Copies of this chain bind each other. A is one copy, B any other.
Amino acid sequence: MIIMMNIPTDMQIDRVMAKLAQRGMEAYQLKSGGKTIIAVTGHAPAENAELFERMPGVEKVIVISTPFKLASREFRREDTQVTVKDTIFGAKEIPVIAGPCAVESYEQLRQTATAVKQAGARMLRGGAYKPRTSPYSFQGLEQEGLEILHAVGRETGLPVITEVTDTRTVELVANYADMLQIGARNMQNFALLKEVAQVKKPVLLKRGVSATVEEWLMAAEYIIAGGNEAVVLCERGIRSFETYTRNTLDLSVVPLIKHLSHLPIIVDPSHGTGKWRLVGPMAKAAVAAGARWTTD
């Protein structure tokens, strides 16, 4: 943590130093022009930033310690591989997940599953609990949808993934699904993150629509710290000013995450662009962005 003070009085500096000492934090002072910079070493949780930012004479507090630990590349140098049946995330293969937005009926899912399997997909997706912007939209078949998904997965031999949206149904969903999905809107639903951490099923953690890379990795940290190390990250587009595309697919995070973290990352070009025309090119681009980083 760096505390920047602008033309502070000696008493203001003393008060900051005293508060740091009181909290057991070691600090060094540097003076430069009218500014005094206090560099704090060791553990400095983000909450402290606000505490010190409020003190007289303090201009700005910059938190510099990496807040994620278990999810960081420093913690584990080699790439983590997450295995769902015989599909591996974080290895050389490119495991394509496909399927309908929502499970609507056995026939619909069966037909789709057969088609996507033939096209090369390695995992089947389909929503049973749908987080819809409108309460008047179809909210999913719920348990019936889970049963259909499970059945079609077994019939086609594809592992299945579906979204969890409520702490109360995590266990139920985990009984039917091979992998649990945390959707973008729930990326910081911490109660839900803690709950999936206690289930022995791999988790696909989608990036929130306006989540920074740091917030995203902190959400992964919740799951790992809670006991579940099988986390796969999924970039699915962020919200920007551009309206031609539904979201702005932020492919730079592919090499960035691989630098900062050992967790595998995949990309969702459908939600990420919202335009069928762009899905093909952006899927290829996603592979290219990560290709050189894949562990051989």
Contacts and interface: CB of A to CB of B under 8 A. Distances in A.
Interface stretch (A115-123, A152-160, A172-180, A253-261): A253-261
A256 B275 contact: yes
Contact of A37 (B33, B39, B281): B39
Nearest to A165: B191
Interface residues of A, number: 95
A210 B241 contact: yes
Nearest to A55: B276
A18 interface: no
Interface of A: 2, 4, 6-7, 28, 30-35, 37, 39, 41-42, 45-47, 50, 53-54, 60, 62, 64-65, 67, 74, 129, 131-138, 165-168, 185-186, 188-191, 194, 209-210, 212-215, 218, 221-222, 225-226, 238-245, 248-252, 254-256, 259, 272-278, 280-282, 284-293
27 contacts: A7-B74, A33-B65, A34-B74, A37-B39, A46-B134, A47-B138, A54-B276, A62-B62, A62-B64, A67-B133, A133-B188, A133-B218, A135-B194, A135-B225, A165-B191, A166-B167, A167-B167, A209-B210, A210-B239, A240-B248, A249-B250, A249-B252, A252-B278, A256-B275, A259-B277, A284-B292, A285-B288
